Structure 1
């Protein structure tokens, strides 16, 4: 095999194409072309885009070869971090850190995602599902059109992560309004105004968390904030003030928007073919339906965190030079025909490797089990309570990269 530099694509650049209106509706043809013609694509915007399943998995599982940037390098790449808190949080987040810092922080935050704690939340999931669906069902039965995204898909995981963290119910909706603004900072096309709004959102949330931390310091409870405050106050250096605040930022911002998008995607797949609902008749079928939804339509299209080649690395027949930035296109990898036969067909019965929707290796998402469980709980109840549900208009997506999320999903009852 002869090693070569990755093929350079004709203009427009693939990243520009992925931010186009057409790609917002359907990015998968672009992914397929990249996999076939330039599976390791050198974007003019300074990163190699990796699209094949085997290559994406390799990068995820070899954090020694593809670590995150050192703090000083991140400061050079994001000089905005000095002036913008939104970028500062991005630079110092858990997902972009390397061992030993990553190992230390992950162990601390992992206390909140034990199998025992997740299982204990199932009753709460069922109660919140029933409560949210009851309110929507009444409106639908009155002939209303309802936005399922804002009334069910967002509130469901919002309440779950709030229960886990320890955010009181009266504060949740107000704080949730900040998340879309916060997430704008990861958009490569974020405008100066969007960055300013992200700063404002982080500032408001940070002030709230400062108060909550002090409350839990005085009156600890069985929640993750109390556990992290206890670790901070042990005085053994395991967690400092900035890290505590940023961990809470990360949990809150990532804790429900991606799951809300997965719920939206799952509902749309159900509404597109009513026969698919039979998968939800059993626990195993529900698990398979959720897994296939996450493969077929991953909420996160580009893996979070920046990675760089620690040395020259060969992927496929391409050579990635030392120091090059690597971005992993999860949406492309999950539809790689080399990993999944007929990848563009939604088929919960399929086998194959684990979808890369939650990552792999040391950065595998701690909340994956919680997200899968709540999606399954909600879907089974939605199918039972709203058998006549149908779309009332086209869903409106917000963006394509790195999150392919929604603004609205209008539904009604068929008459």
Structure 2
């Protein structure tokens, strides 16, 4: 790994490796490491991102007195020890094992507990499950861009009226049968061809990622989200094509239709070409399958029974939700953001939508995200036992 190029980071962030973390050698970005005894904050990225996505957040948290740790999660970047063969074992990528990765990492750094775990996109459910399963370690949680509606429910009151057998969700057949046939991106990401589609994108990997990040950002002016009424084909078809795709198209073909102009790319201050180039170089080296395995764990239903062990359990540590106001991710699963606030989290102290941000909220509007995070930490660290 010593031959890999340097990461374009602020001088206050360092890159390092930590061995023997649940079978992984984890690549970690770290800030606030200069003095010992600081409270720790753990940052968990999403797809298709890396620890690098926190580069604009880490210095502010460190400046406020925190030791900030952001790993490349299992399946991503410079972390090694995982295998993403499509026909290989999925179990290492299931949510409970991702929590074990996070727990092992903070323990390796010598922490019995952390002030907060903060997750974005697919890192959001990992952070939520960290707080749900080990509230003694993860004493507060911030979920970003992906609301947490709670653990899957166990069948209830079925002794005399048995529940129907689990079957394929009919919504997928209904989506395919619409006048404009569609498919859900998570199920597309679960097919064998998805990784190859992206790695061999006709427009090239760089333009594919540029188009993908653009399409889901506030820069794409058609991102004007609103709540959906139900998990149904007619409602899901209202989502942009990066979520509910045209049936015959790949993801590279989907985002190519909304490729930003040269002028728009030049004006993009939140992801200039030099920073995009790092994402491109890392995914060119690793591919996307490591991240896609996470989607397959969910769409397969293979680990639902394990997660039902915590059916009805709530997140009882202080919690907060932050997303871009122009992010459809808040509403892509009907009722999730409402369930998060009303039933899944018993101590939610804030739900914030940030103006001028789409899905990549901490990259698009880092100043406001940092303000919200620091305010949340000031509120919660004060009341945590030492």
Category of TM-score, reference length = shorter chain: under 0.3
| Greater RCO (CA < 8 Å, at least 6 residues apart) | 1
Q: TM-score, normalised by structure 2?
A: 0.25
Q: TM-score, normalised by structure 1?
A: 0.23
Q: Which protein is richer in helix relative to its size?
A: 1
